[in-house]
Amino acid sequence: MSQKKFINTLKKHGDKYGVDSPSDVRHFIAQTAHESGGKITAVETGGAATSTISREDIKNSKYVGPNSKYSVDEVMGNRRLMVNIHRANTLGNGPPSSGDGWTYRGRGPIQFTWKGAYRNFTNHYQGEEFGNTDFVDNPEKLSNDAKTGTLAALWYWENRVLPQVDGDLTVKKVTLAINNGTTGLPNRKDQFEAAQESINCDS
């Protein structure tokens, strides 16, 4: 059911958000398949959220150390706290005590992240009269409903990905636009090749 909602939402609204060619569709599907592990209603787990956070990252945080509230060992033993510290005071998130890092972790097909993004998508969603939901107050709705999560992914694609690739979509360029690095690039390439082989954009 979730996959059907994903596809139907993509077919209905994709053109509006710049997913308007067979190549665009395949890139979009390949990237969301990687980001969400193929689960449209996925929520970022503690393991995934902390996989790229090193002990050195935590040690260098201004919130950690002898004169701070948290010790390195305490943080490294608490994945939720690690996320709250590592993502503090960035892109709309507040300090670690706000819990924003964990609350606004990745959700939905594109793993929509950061409080500022949730707020901006809320403004768009309400402005387009899709509904009255405030995703800052109800972040779980981006992962509980496949249609809403897909709309958020499409909005992200239009506002984050397309401006950075400048009309030249390659797996590497799209990956860089999504996560500022090439994490998971081999799998993203595999997903794109699979999409090329199996997705008929004319139907």
Residue range 35-80, pLDDT digits in tens? 999 899 999 999 999 999 999 999 999 999 988 989 999 999 999 9
Average pLDDT, whole number, for the chain?
A: 94
The answer to whether the beta carbons of residues 97 and 89 sit under 8 Å apart is no
Q: What pLDDT does residue 170 have?
A: 95
- In angstroms, rounded to a whole number, what is the distance separating the alpha carbons of residues 190 and 57? 31
pLDDT surpasses 50 at 203: no
* Residue 194, token pair as written in the block: 């699979």
- In angstroms, rounded to a whole number, what is the distance separating the alpha carbons of residues 42 and 136? 18
pLDDT surpasses 70 at 202: no
pLDDT surpasses 90 at 201: no
Among the listed residues 12, 31, 57, the one whose alpha carbon sits nearest the alpha carbon of residue 147: 12
* Residue 95, token pair as written in the block: 């300090």
**Predicted model pTM:** 0.92
* Residue 91, token pair as written in the block: 């892109």
Q: What pLDDT does residue 41 have?
A: 94
The residues, any chain, with a CB within 8 Å of residue 60's CB and separated by 6 or more, are none
Tell me the residue length of the chain: 203
Q: Which helix (DSSP H) or strand (DSSP E) does residue 47 occupy?
A: helix 46-50
The residue-averaged pLDDT of 155-173 equals 94
- Is residue 182 helix, strand or coil? coil
The answer to whether the beta carbons of residues 85 and 63 sit under 8 Å apart is yes
Among the listed residues 25, 41, 21, the one whose alpha carbon sits nearest the alpha carbon of residue 150: 41
- In angstroms, rounded to a whole number, what is the distance separating the alpha carbons of residues 119 and 45? 22
